[in-house]
Structures are given as C-alpha cells and as structure tokens.
Structure 1
Amino acid sequence: MLKVLIVDDEPMVRKGIVLGFDWAAMDCVIVGEAANGEEGLAAVEAYNPNLIITDIRMPNMDGLEMLRELRRRGNRAHVIILTAYSDFSYARNALQYGADDYLLKPFHNQELVAAINRIKQKVQERITLTPQDVLPLVKGDKSKYVLLAMNYIAEHYSDPGIGITQIANSLGVSEGHLSHVFKKETSYTIIGYLTQYRIHVAMKLLQDCRYKIYEVAEMVGYRDVAYFGSTFKKLTGLSPSEYQDRCM
C-alpha cells in the first residue's frame, strides 16, 4: 500500500485531491497534508509517506526545495509534481531530484491515477521474481502443475492465508499429488518455496529503503512482524534491520 502525503498551499486543491479519488481502490491511503515545503518536511518525518504529491510554487519553501532537501536526507519516497507552470526547466529540475512524474494544472483525475499506476508498476517490476531468482540451483524442465504452482505463488504471496490447500484447489489437483511432484522436481516443499519467495521479495523491498520493516512484513504476507523477523534471519543470517542497514 502506498502512503500518500499531499503538499499544496491551496486548501481547495488539497481537499480536491483527498476527496476526489477512491484511494482505497488504488491501494493507497492519505496519511497527511501540508501547505508548503517546510510543513511537508515535517510531515514526512511524522508520517513516513512513500508517495508525495506536491505543488512547486509555495510560500516559505517550494516543492523543488523540499524535494532537494528530502534527497539530501536520504529520503527516497516517490514524488509526483503538480504545477501550473509549463516551463520545462521546472520539469528538468524536478526529474533531476528524482521526481517520478510531472503534471500540469489543471489536470484530469485520470492523469493522476495514471501517474500513480505507473509508480505502482515500477515498484512491482522491481520486486517481481521468477522461479529462477528464488531457486537458481533447480534445473531441468518442470511439469505443468509445478509451473502453475510457482506462478500462483508469484501472484498471491502477499496473501497471509495462502497455503497448500488454496494452491491445490486453484489448480484442480489433490494436495498430495501437488506436494509430491513439487518436492520431487524442486527439492522444496510448497511452503518452503513460498517462504523463500516471500523472503526474496522482502530483501528487494528492504533494499529500497522506502518501507519500514513492519510494512515489508505485511507486503509479503506476514501478519506477525516478529515471526517475519525470525524467518528472515533464519534464511539470510541477518535480521531485517541489519540487512537494511547494510544496503543503505
């Protein structure tokens, strides 16, 4: 889920963005608002958003100054710039400091939705793994049901309730048969492979540094952050915080 901060000096613009979209349907939540760059920096510290939607021209500190300071501090949140100014120098400066997108006011709702979807797609591409990423030592052709099970896990690993029963039912095969062929062809149990997949995705998310450890745990299907931590350490030799520190 993307945690969104809105930064704009016009209250009606902020209100329009907050109320004008079905944020839950986009797997987003509004965590705060700010009226200028200074307030935006404080809100980032308070709410730790991973998406900031900001105007450029604002009093006290403008959006580009805020973005520059965020990058100086090591913050890597996604940023969408909104502005009424079409001068390309604004866009160039915004992109220089790592803005993901640049929309001219007034913009259509679908333009902002599309910009958010592009960011979500980039995040998904960054963390999407193939079976070879997770099991690089497993060679040879896989049977139909093993490949389908791997693909199912790749699509549903974030579901805390996923298990052998759910996977077998989705494929229309018995649990016993699926367990047998999967272990025979990969040397992993279904749950063992699922765990490996989740931890590999978690490693990519922790390298990104935009997410807190409990958020990563939730994103890869763990309700219990302590259990996630112990599983992560068992497979990597490091706690999630130790791993993230080494990647910074």
Structure 2
Amino acid sequence: MLSVLIVDDEKLVRTGIVMGIDWASLGCAVVAEASDGQEGYDAATKYNPDLIICDIRMPKMDGIEMVSKLRKDGNNAYTVFLTAYSDFAYAQKAIKLGASDYILKPFKDGELEATVIKIRDQIDKDYTSKTELRKSSILNDDNVKKDSVSKYVSDALYYIEKNYGNTNISVKLISDSLGLSESHLSHMFKKETDYTINAYITRYRIRAAIDMLRSGKYKVYEVAEKVGYKDITYFSSTFKKITGTSPSDYAN
C-alpha cells in the first residue's frame, strides 16, 4: 500500500482530498496532511511518503521550494502539484523537480484519482523492474573465471564452489586448505576478484539458492540448509537484501 502526504493551505480542499477519495481502493493510505510548506516538509521528513500531493502557492514555504528542499535531502517521492494558476513557469519548475503530474484547480471529478492510479502503476512497474534487475544481476553476474586469476585464488574459488553448502565454511578453513595465511589469501582474493571472500561466498550461495527456488523442487527451509544457512530468518533477510525480494515470494 502506498503512503500519501497531502499538503494544501486551503482546509476545504485538503479535507476534500483526504476524505473525499476512497484511498484504500486505490491501494493507498494517507499518512499525514499539512497546511503549509514547512509543515509539509516536516511531515515528509518524518513519514517518508511514496506520494506527495502538494499545492504550489502556500504560506511559509511554497510547494516548489518544499519539494526542492526534499530533493536536496535525497527524498525522491512521486509528486503531484496542485495550483489555481495556469502559469507555465510553475509547470516548468515542477517538471524540473521530477513532478509526476501538474493539475489545475478546481480539478474535475476523477482527475486526481486517475493521476494516482497512473502513478501507482508506475511505482509497481518501477519496483518490478528493479527487482528483476537485481535478480538478473545475481543470475547473470559471471563467476570469476578461474583461468583469469592466480593459482591460489583459483583454488579458493574451486573450494567455495564445492563447499558453499558447509555452514562452517570460513576464510580460515579455505586458507588452511591452501596452506596460506588468512591475511595473505584475503588480500590476493580481493585484489584479483574485487570481492572479499565472505562477500563472494554469500553471492555464490544466493545464486545457488535462486537456481534451487527456480526449479520448484525445494521448500525455502530446504534451500536455506542446502546453501549453508542454519538460520532461515537470516537466510531470508540476506536473500532479500541482495535480490530485492524474499525467497518465499521468489518461489511463488
């Protein structure tokens, strides 16, 4: 469900937007409302909404200034500007701030809802694209080629390939098997592969987990065990951190 912040200095307009729209049916929930730009900025900072519906002409801080300040803070919430002024200069400023839409007051019945639906669909599409990109990155990220690295690093890669399912695999275990010190192997591995050994093990495990989940042959807890995780909660959080989705959602 998308979180929405409503910012408008006209109480009747603000109340009409908050109360007059069936937000739940749009897959949204209004998390806060504000009567001026400063209140809106504070609310956006506090609630970090997915969507901001904001008037442009307001006291203390106008909508353009408010959103500009939020953008500088790194807040990239989707934004719909409302204004009673059909001044193209405002539209230009809104567009430069990455506004999703620009609606003139008084807007027609269903106009705001249609805009919200369009944005919601775009957010869903963006999320799906990013998730698929993460999955694709993990699946298609070429394994470090053993013939492009030194013998010791190649042997370490081979060891990981054969033992990633061992819950006790560690830098010490690998270095001992190769007759090297942990520090020397770690330095060589990072220099030649651009990964730390532990990071590479994690990626290798998640890549293997994705293949197993894709096959549909195993339950999530079975996959976790097979790729070396004793704690299924930790496995799930690691999987989601790397792929952008939980293993159960991926399996479904």
SS in 2 for 1:109: coil
How far does the alpha carbon of each residue in 1:184-226 deviate from its partner, in whole angstroms, 9 at most, with x for none? 9x5343755xx9xxxxxxxxxxxxxxxxxxxxxxxxxxxxxx9
Q: How many residues align?
A: 163
Is 1:187 aligned to residue 215 of structure 2? Answer: yes
| 1:116 alignment counterpart | 116
Where do 5+ consecutive residues of structure 2 fail to align? 141-210, 224-230, 246-252
Cα distance in structure 1, aligned partners of 2:32 and 2:21? 15
Q: Which amino acid aligns with 2:115?
A: A
Pair 30,235 (structure 1): closer, same or farther in 2 beyond 3 Å: closer
Q: Is 2:54–2:80's contact at 8 Å kept on the other side of the alignment?
A: yes
Instruction: Report how far residue 109 of structure 1 moved.
Output: 3.1
Pair 191,132 (structure 1): closer, same or farther in 2 beyond 3 Å: farther
SS in 2 for 1:86: coil
TM score, norm. by length of structure 2:
0.56
Cα distance in structure 1, aligned partners of 2:60 and 2:32? 19
Cα distance in structure 2, aligned partners of 1:101 and 1:125? 17
Asked which structure has the greater CA Rg, the reply is 2
Instruction: Report how far residue 132 of structure 1 moved.
Output: 10
Q: Is 1:100–1:119's contact at 8 Å kept on the other side of the alignment?
A: yes
| 1:126 alignment counterpart | 126
Q: Is 1:6–1:34's contact at 8 Å kept on the other side of the alignment?
A: yes
Cα distance in structure 2, aligned partners of 1:39 and 1:65? 13
User: RMSD of aligned C-alpha atoms?
Assistant: 3.4
Q: Is 1:9–1:35's contact at 8 Å kept on the other side of the alignment?
A: yes
Pair 44,131 (structure 1): closer, same or farther in 2 beyond 3 Å: closer
Any residues of structure 2 matched to 1:1-248 within 5 Å, and which? Answer: 1-128=1-128, 134=135, 187-189=215-217, 191=219, 230-234=235-239
Q: Is 1:54–1:63's contact at 8 Å kept on the other side of the alignment?
A: yes
Pair 236,54 (structure 1): closer, same or farther in 2 beyond 3 Å: closer
Pair 40,238 (structure 1): closer, same or farther in 2 beyond 3 Å: same
Pair 40,227 (structure 1): closer, same or farther in 2 beyond 3 Å: farther
TM score, norm. by length of structure 1:
0.57
SS in 2 for 1:52: strand
| 1:246 alignment counterpart | none
Cα distance in structure 1, aligned partners of 2:123 and 2:39? 27
Q: Is 1:3–1:30's contact at 8 Å kept on the other side of the alignment?
A: yes
Instruction: Report how far residue 239 of structure 1 moved.
Output: 10
Pair 87,134 (structure 1): closer, same or farther in 2 beyond 3 Å: same
Task: Name the % identity.
Answer: 44
Cα distance in structure 2, aligned partners of 1:46 and 1:235? 25
Pair 191,111 (structure 1): closer, same or farther in 2 beyond 3 Å: farther
Cα distance in structure 1, aligned partners of 2:41 and 2:132? 40
Q: Is 1:232–1:239's contact at 8 Å kept on the other side of the alignment?
A: no
Cα distance in structure 1, aligned partners of 2:84 and 2:74? 28
Cα distance in structure 2, aligned partners of 1:11 and 1:227? 50
Q: Is 2:53–2:79's contact at 8 Å kept on the other side of the alignment?
A: yes
Q: Is 2:134–2:242's contact at 8 Å kept on the other side of the alignment?
A: no
